[in-house]
Amino acid sequence: MNNQARILLFALLLFFAFGAWLLPSEAQRSGPSREGGAPKPAAGKAIAPKRAFTAQSKITSPGVSTSTPDSVQASSFGESAPVNRVAAGPGAVESDREDENEAAENRAVHQVTAAAAARSQRMSPSDAMKRDGAMQTMAPTLNIPSPIVTFEGLGRTQNIAAGFGNLSPPDTNGDVGPNHYVQQTNLLVRVWNKAGAPLTAPFRLSSLWAVANGGPGGQCAASDAGDPVVLYDPLADRWMLSQFAFTSLSTPPYHECIAISKNSDPTGAYYLYDFVTGGTTGANEFPDYPHLGVWPDGYYMMVHQFTLGGPFNGTGAYSFNRAKMLVGDPTANYIYFNLNLASHPEGIGGGLFLWQKQSEPATAPQEQPSAQLTPAPRQTYEHDWAKHSLDTTHSVIDQIKRQRKDDDLKDAVGRR
């Protein structure tokens, strides 16, 4: 074989070898990738960007459901008489309760198994330290300063005097403003000044909704079911009082009753809102353990969902229209995400973080949470439920902003 034939044969072999390498390589680049890599899109097509995770974090984050969130208007609205007058009236307390009662709640979220309890008893301190690096082996030094003032809040004595008997748990909740402290428990409300002097008698939150006190009536006026939350809104110098309401745990509709003070005085009159929870997709989800937070663009709420008061079914995330509620607009609505076990089988219950905003820099845009609320970067771990919950919270907030803009656009078109 002459030199020219050898060169030609070598070139053909090199060509076929290069082609054999190129075909599987291109198939690998266009197929599903691993370790967070994105597949290569076909010509003329675009793919949505995906959230990137570090190699240390192996938890998957499906985010929120791609379905459109519910936007639901308040089922009723009213304006109360001044709280100091309502609290002094005969309808401020009930007298038809038995001596022993249990506040409404669903406790079947987490249970310690017998096997887990047995393992904990056999575990030595050194083994426990290996499993939990944050475990303390000695009591810390007490260096917290003494309180400026202390005084007795609502308790068993007031509940018995109001006809509620002994209630468990009390779900004690309160907040402080520039001049007042307001406390809610199962099942009473009271206002003090910051020196500890009471400014109202204990009263039922439901009494604000009573028709006799100027309220709209309805389920929010029918009874006090509990799970109270009181918040001071530092951005508007207002007060929020809330609790849920229902006829029974297994019978929807379920209600969230929210009162917003008309001004900075918590003993004055309130705007009253009755929201039927769950929208169209979660109407059968009992909204247990509601927790709320103050943001510039809304009052955010997270609940544990129990289908008809029975099995746990994930989390409900709400954003109430703060701008409308502050001015007493009857068309105030909420935006709702049903983060149930069908869309989030990992179960987010207890891990959806909604911060309460304490201040707003003058330069920060009103529709965005302050950058000060962003947690500092930290190492991620396998089964990192906290990071996953934060990712889900951020996704919910982003979609709520979009839905709020759509609602505002519809309102503007309707006024034309």
DSSP 179-196: SEEEEE-SS-EEEEETTS
CA 304 centroid distance within chain: 9
Judge whether 331 lies within some domain: yes
- Contacts for 326 with CB less than 8 Å, ≥ 6 apart: 233, 236, 238, 260
- pLDDT at residue 347, rounded to an integer: 74
The DSSP output letter for 92 is: G
Judge whether 32 lies within some domain: no
- pLDDT at residue 305, rounded to an integer: 94
Judge whether 136 lies within some domain: no
- Contacts for 368 with CB less than 8 Å, ≥ 6 apart: 296, 297
- pLDDT at residue 30, rounded to an integer: 34
Total number of domains constituting the chain:
1
Judge whether 330 lies within some domain: yes
Query: How many percent of the chain have pLDDT more than 70?
Result: 64
281 neighbors 264 (Cβ within 8 angstroms) = no
Judge whether 141 lies within some domain: no
Is 227 exposed, middle or buried (CB count within 10 Å of its CB: 0-12, 13-18, 19+)? buried
Q: In whole angstroms, what is the distance from residue 395 CA to residue 150 CA?
A: 41
Q: Is 104 helix (H, G, I), strand (E, B) or coil?
A: coil
Q: Which domain holds residue 261?
A: 70-104+151-358+385-415
- pLDDT at residue 131, rounded to an integer: 67
Judge whether 139 lies within some domain: no
- Contacts for 22 with CB less than 8 Å, ≥ 6 apart: none
- pLDDT at residue 66, rounded to an integer: 40
Q: In whole angstroms, what is the distance from residue 276 CA to residue 104 CA?
A: 17
- pLDDT at residue 400, rounded to an integer: 79
- Contacts for 171 with CB less than 8 Å, ≥ 6 apart: 103, 185, 186, 226, 227, 228
CA 215 centroid distance within chain: 27
This prediction has a pTM of 0.68
Judge whether 64 lies within some domain: no
Judge whether 115 lies within some domain: no
315 neighbors 339 (Cβ within 8 angstroms) = yes
Q: In whole angstroms, what is the distance from residue 360 CA to residue 368 CA?
A: 10
Query: Which residues does the chain have with pLDDT short of 50?
Result: 16, 18-66, 95-100, 353-387
Q: In whole angstroms, what is the distance from residue 265 CA to residue 238 CA?
A: 8
